[in-house]
């Protein structure tokens, strides 16, 4: 069921909107309000049940044949309503955050800043709470500009990229597909080195060069990223890590299958990784706060790395 | 069948907006069918429903005033002039930019609030495009995540200036502890939400990471005991804790070709021999744990304290 408050908010705007548009098309109104035709029809079924004064007997006479919407007793029953505190906050915080994106076109930024100022003025008191929330996006400016340009001009890129898992740089040619920001800013591309799609974090791009070749990524279905960037596959090898209380942060930073509580206040975390050796850094970082339990090659790899590092300090 | 809530709210809103004089509860109850049909018809049930409905309409931005009605009863009305959206003269370009920015929320309540605001603006004549889901901001798809359950109650408490309590587990603590906090501001940084506020138990300003709140957030009665500062810099506090507010420097040896992020932060880099470079890097909180990640590719030269911390960590890993 649709949320009654959201539906009420929408219907109040609808009556103001329809007043100016006799015979409006259902599909066009639904698109303008960002809802489905069925949701709009549901709203139109409620409106004729709504009276416009306490005396009764003056219901809204709005009806539709499924294609067009007619209002037979058009009246000034509602007006453009002032913004609620949450509405002003949601718009203003989003607009201020987006305006800080380094890769935004300058004309878009200027338009957004003007819109923000006008909106602040119109929201008045309701805008006050928006200073209680803020969002910062991070994007490496110059790298961003090159990726953005490569996407709009459909050109190939050569990048030198840092892989933290292997602590190594690789140079590769990639065909960029899209840029997105979830905390950090990333771009997704078809990597011609691995012949697969890959995510690249902008702050790990050490060097970038726009090539003259046309980008030619194979058609790929864009994943919904709202569930997290790292979506390990069930076939990936399993890694088990046991941490004490001081290592509980591991469960926050690594998407995992399970995290069982241990009696000492720690956790036993099971996760999947395409390349378990990429977790050697984690194994080293844990120190006294935990240890990797399996797979054995990761356990041994971390121990050997620590022993060989200790040798430089005289044992 | 009971009358749907949206229909009831809509009737109440239209009644309150289209009256010239305050309407008493009795009049509203008599004129709105959903109230007339109330099961049992007890005053108590009606009063509860009426109070909730008024709160819901206020959430939508409606200012409902109370005033003396005709028969010495309290009356209610939503005056047109106080509820009208002032003119927002956006041109098409400004409207397009705002419409796209509004789509960044992944948090349900704010996503709905943003699209509700756009609907109000659209009804007021702001020239948005014909399709609410159209367009994009350059090549970028910015998203603001807010998966933490604590986000919504804290946002509302900060808005309404209400103290809250919750259980909080610090990153290195075994047990969560109960905290009583006056929430000042929320900030999203690097994809995580943080709360800054006055911690009543610790009598100091504290920053909390929302993902470490382990209980439900409970709103407490009473008002703030502190003045909310105009500017609350959550990010500065988090960055300092994250090692970005270094107060001194350290010298390390780094194997050639390794440790790009360390090189990117280095204040000075000089080759030592064919295999090693020497770097001077900022030394702040958490540097020891970070350096250990590079295993045998990093050797700490000084200060001695950092060297000892790194050796200590390596020994723990070597023991297995």
Per-residue pLDDT tens over the stretch A127-138? 888 888 888 776
Q: Which residues of A touch B159 (CB under 8 A)?
A: 85-86, 89, 129, 132
Check residue B78 and give its pLDDT: 93
Cα three-residue angle B179-B180-B185, rounded to 5 degrees: 100
Strand, helix or coil for residue B277: strand
Cα three-residue angle B22-B26-B29, rounded to 5 degrees: 105
Q: Is B33 exposed, middle or buried (0-12, 13-18, 19+ CB in 10 A)?
A: middle
Distance from CA of A156 to the nearest CA of B (A): 15
Q: Decide if B85 and A115 are in contact by the 8 Å CB cutoff.
A: no
Name the residue among B111, B120, B139 with its Cβ closest to that of A83. Answer: B120
Q: SS3 string of chain A?
A: CCCHHHHHHHHHHHHHHHHCCCCEEHHHHHHHHCCCHHHHHHHHHHHHHCECCCCCCCECCEEECCCEEEECCCCCCCCCECCCHHHHHHHHHHHHHHHCCCCCCHHHHHHHHHHHHHHHHHHHHHHHHHHHEEEECCCCHHHHHHHHHHHHCCEEEEEEEEECCCCEEEEEEEEEEEEEEECEEEEEEEECCCCEEEEEEHHHEEEEEEEEEECCCCCCCCCCHHHCCCCCCCCCCEEEEEECHHHCHHHHHCCCCEEEECCCCCEEEEEECCCHHHHHHHHHHHHHHEEEEECHHHHHHHHHHHHHHHHCCCC
Check residue B31 and give its pLDDT: 86
Contact A58, A78 (CB under 8 A): no
Q: Decide if A54 and B290 are in contact by the 8 Å CB cutoff.
A: no
At residue A1 the predicted structure's pLDDT band, cuts being 50, 70 and 90, is very low
Check residue A92 and give its pLDDT: 94
| Cis, bond preceding B64 (omega within 30 deg of 0) | no
- Of the two residues B24 and B3, the one the predictor is more confident about is B24
Q: Which residues of A touch B61 (CB under 8 A)?
A: 81-85, 87, 126
Closest by Cα among B157, B159, B158, B177 to B167: B177
- Polymer length of chain A: 315
Distance CA B20, CA B36 (A): 23
Residue B39's CB is within 10 A of a number of other CB atoms, namely: 7
Distance from CA of B56 to the nearest CA of A (A): 7
Least confident segment among A160-169, B51-60, B272-281: A160-169
Please enumerate in sequence order all residues whose Cβ is within 8 A of that of A300, keeping only pairs 6 or more positions apart, or say none. Answer: none
pLDDT single digits (tens) B288-313: 999 999 999 999 998 999 999 999 99
The CA distances from residue A283 to A167, A239, B98, B314, B318, in Å, are: 14, 11, 45, 10, 11
Residue B132 has phi, psi (to 5 degrees) of -65, -20
Mean pLDDT, to the nearest integer, of A13-32? 92
Contact A147, A176 (CB under 8 A): yes
Q: How far apart are the first and last CA of chain B?
A: 67
Name the residue among A54, A265, A308 with its Cβ closest to that of B31. Answer: A54
- pLDDT tops 80 at residue A221: no
Q: Which residues of B touch A289 (CB under 8 A)?
A: 172
- The pair of three-digit structure tokens given for residue A41, joined into one six-digit string: 């029809």
- pLDDT tops 90 at residue A36: yes
Least confident segment among A34-48, A208-222, B143-157, B235-249: B235-249
- The pair of three-digit structure tokens given for residue B25, joined into one six-digit string: 């509860």
Distance from CA of B117 to the nearest CA of A (A): 5
- pLDDT tops 50 at residue B43: yes
Q: Decide if A81 and B80 are in contact by the 8 Å CB cutoff.
A: no
pLDDT single digits (tens) B187-227: 988 778 899 999 999 998 889 999 889 999 999 999 999 88
Q: Decide if B128 and A32 are in contact by the 8 Å CB cutoff.
A: yes
> Best interface-test mutation with B: which of A19, A87, A246 has the largest number of B CBs within 10 A?
A87
- pLDDT tops 60 at residue A119: yes
Check residue A264 and give its pLDDT: 86
Q: For the whole prediction, is pTM greater than 0.90?
A: no
Q: Decide if B142 and A288 are in contact by the 8 Å CB cutoff.
A: no
Name the residue among A4, A13, A169 with its Cβ closest to that of B123. Answer: A13
Mean pLDDT, to the nearest integer, of A187-199? 90
**Helix (H), strand (E) at residue B187:** strand B177-189
ipTM over 0.85: no
List residues bridging with A71 in a β-sheet.
A62
Mean pLDDT, to the nearest integer, of A283-287? 91
Q: Decide if B186 and A133 are in contact by the 8 Å CB cutoff.
A: yes
Distance CA A214, CA A216 (A): 6
pLDDT single digits (tens) B144-201: 878 788 999 999 999 899 999 999 988 767 788 999 999 999 998 877 889 999 999 9
- pLDDT tops 60 at residue B237: yes
- Of the two residues A233 and A306, the one the predictor is more confident about is A306
Rg (C-alpha) for chain A, rounded Å, is 28
Closest by Cα among B104, B91, B100 to B132: B100
At residue A226 the predicted structure's pLDDT band, cuts being 50, 70 and 90, is low
Distance CA A142, CA A119 (A): 31
Name the residue among A78, A252, A302 with its Cβ closest to that of B317. Answer: A302
Q: Which residues of B touch A115 (CB under 8 A)?
A: 90, 94-95, 97-98
Check residue B16 and give its pLDDT: 93
Q: Decide if A32 and B320 are in contact by the 8 Å CB cutoff.
A: no
Closest by Cα among A185, A157, A187 to A172: A157
Q: Decide if A80 and B124 are in contact by the 8 Å CB cutoff.
A: yes
Shortest CA distance from A108: residue in chain B: B97
B122 touches chain A (CB under 8 A): yes
At residue A274 the predicted structure's pLDDT band, cuts being 50, 70 and 90, is confident
- Of the two residues B39 and B279, the one the predictor is more confident about is B279
Name the residue among B14, B174, B211 with its Cβ closest to that of A78. Answer: B14
At residue A172 the predicted structure's pLDDT band, cuts being 50, 70 and 90, is very high
Distance CA A95, CA A116 (A): 7
Check residue A239 and give its pLDDT: 92
Give contacts of B 37-66 with A, CB under 8 A. 56-63
Give me the residue spans of the domains in chain A. 4-71, 85-132, 141-221, 238-311
Please enumerate in sequence order all residues whose Cβ is within 8 A of that of B43, keeping only pairs 6 or more positions apart, or say none. Answer: none
Name the residue among A34, A87, A183 with its Cβ closest to that of B192. Answer: A183
CA A184 to chain centre: 10
Q: Decide if A287 and B120 are in contact by the 8 Å CB cutoff.
A: no
Closest by Cα among B50, B160, B178, B155 to B108: B155
At residue B240 the predicted structure's pLDDT band, cuts being 50, 70 and 90, is low
Name the residue among A3, A87, A287 with its Cβ closest to that of B292. Answer: A287
At residue B124 the predicted structure's pLDDT band, cuts being 50, 70 and 90, is very high
Q: Decide if B61 and A111 are in contact by the 8 Å CB cutoff.
A: no
> Best interface-test mutation with A: which of B34, B49, B58, B117 has the largest number of A CBs within 10 A?
B117
> Best interface-test mutation with B: which of A80, A140, A200 has the largest number of B CBs within 10 A?
A80
Report the topology of domain A4-71.
Arc Repressor Mutant, subunit A (1.10.10)
Q: Decide if A4 and B9 are in contact by the 8 Å CB cutoff.
A: yes
Report the topology of domain A141-221.
SH3 type barrels. (2.30.30)
């Amino acid at each position: 069921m649709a949320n009654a408050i959201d539906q009420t908010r929408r219907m109040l705007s609808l009556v103001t909107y329809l007043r100016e548009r006799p015979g409006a098309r259902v599909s066009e109104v639904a698109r303008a309000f960002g809802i489905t035709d069925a949701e709009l029809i549901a709203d139109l079924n409620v409106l004729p049940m709504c009276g416009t004064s306490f005396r009764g007997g003056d219901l809204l006479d709005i009806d539709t044949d499924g294609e067009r919407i007619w209002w037979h007793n058009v009246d000034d029953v509602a007006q453009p309503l002032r913004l609620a505190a949450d509405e002003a906050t949601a718009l203003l915080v989003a607009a201020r955050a987006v305006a800080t994106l380094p890769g935004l076109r300058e004309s878009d930024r200027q338009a957004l800043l003007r819109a923000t100022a006008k909106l602040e003025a119109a929201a008045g008191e309701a805008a006050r709470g928006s200073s209680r929330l803020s969002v910062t996006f991070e994007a490496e400016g110059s790298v961003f500009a090159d990726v953005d340009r490569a996407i709009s001009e459909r050109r190939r890129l050569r990048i030198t990229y840092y892989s933290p898992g292997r602590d190594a740089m690789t140079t590769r040619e990639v065909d960029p597909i899209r840029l997105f920001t979830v905390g950090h800013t990333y771009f997704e591309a078809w990597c011609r080195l691995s012949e697969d799609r890959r995510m690249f974090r902008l702050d790990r791009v050490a060097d970038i060069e726009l090539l003259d070749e046309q980008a030619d990524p194979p058609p790929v279905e864009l994943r919904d990223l709202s569930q997290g960037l790292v979506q390990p596959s069930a076939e990936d090898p399993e890694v088990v890590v046991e941490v004490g209380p001081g290592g509980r942060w591991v469960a926050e930073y690594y998407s995992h299958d399970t995290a069982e509580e241990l009696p000492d206040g720690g956790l036993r975390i099971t996760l999947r990784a395409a390349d378990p050796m990429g977790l050697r850094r984690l194994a080293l970082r844990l120190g006294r706060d935990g240890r990797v339990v399996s797979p054995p090659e990761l356990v041994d790899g971390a121990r050997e790395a620590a022993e060989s590092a200790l040798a430089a300090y005289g044992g | 069948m009971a009358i749907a809530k949206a229909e009831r709210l809509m009737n109440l809103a239209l009644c309150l907006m289209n009256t010239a004089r305050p309407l008493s509860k009795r009049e509203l109850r008599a004129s709105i069918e959903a109230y007339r049909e109330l099961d049992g018809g007890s005053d108590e049930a009606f009063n509860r429903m009426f109070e909730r409905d008024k709160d819901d309409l206020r959430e939508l931005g409606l200012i409902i005033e109370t005033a003396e009605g005709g028969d010495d009863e309290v009356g209610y009305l939503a005056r047109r002039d106080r509820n009208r959206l002032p003119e927002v003269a956006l041109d098409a370009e400004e409207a397009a930019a705002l419409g796209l920015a509004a789509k960044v929320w992944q948090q349900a309540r704010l996503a709905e609030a943003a699209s509700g605001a756009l609907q109000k603006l659209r009804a007021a004549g702001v020239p948005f495009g014909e399709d609410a889901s159209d367009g994009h901001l350059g090549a970028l798809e910015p998203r603001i995540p807010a998966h933490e359950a604590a986000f919504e109650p804290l946002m509302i408490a900060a808005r309404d200036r209400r103290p809250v309590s919750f259980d909080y587990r610090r990153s290195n603590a075994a047990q969560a502890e109960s905290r009583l906090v006056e929430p000042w501001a929320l900030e999203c940084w690097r994809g995580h939400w943080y709360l800054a506020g006055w911690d009543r138990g610790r009598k100091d300003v504290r920053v909390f990471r929302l993902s470490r709140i382990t209980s439900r957030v409970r709103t407490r009665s009473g008002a703030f005991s502190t003045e909310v500062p105009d500017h609350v810099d959550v990010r500065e506090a988090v960055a300092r804790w994250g090692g970005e507010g270094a107060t001194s420097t350290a010298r390390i040896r780094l194997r050639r070709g390794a440790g790009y992020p360390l090189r990117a932060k280095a204040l000075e880099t000089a080759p030592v021999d064919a295999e090693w470079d020497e770097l001077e890097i900022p030394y702040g909180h958490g540097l020891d744990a970070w350096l250990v990640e590079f295993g045998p590719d990093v050797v700490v030269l000084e200060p001695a304290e950092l060297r000892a911390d790194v050796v200590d960590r390596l020994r723990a890993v070597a023991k297995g």
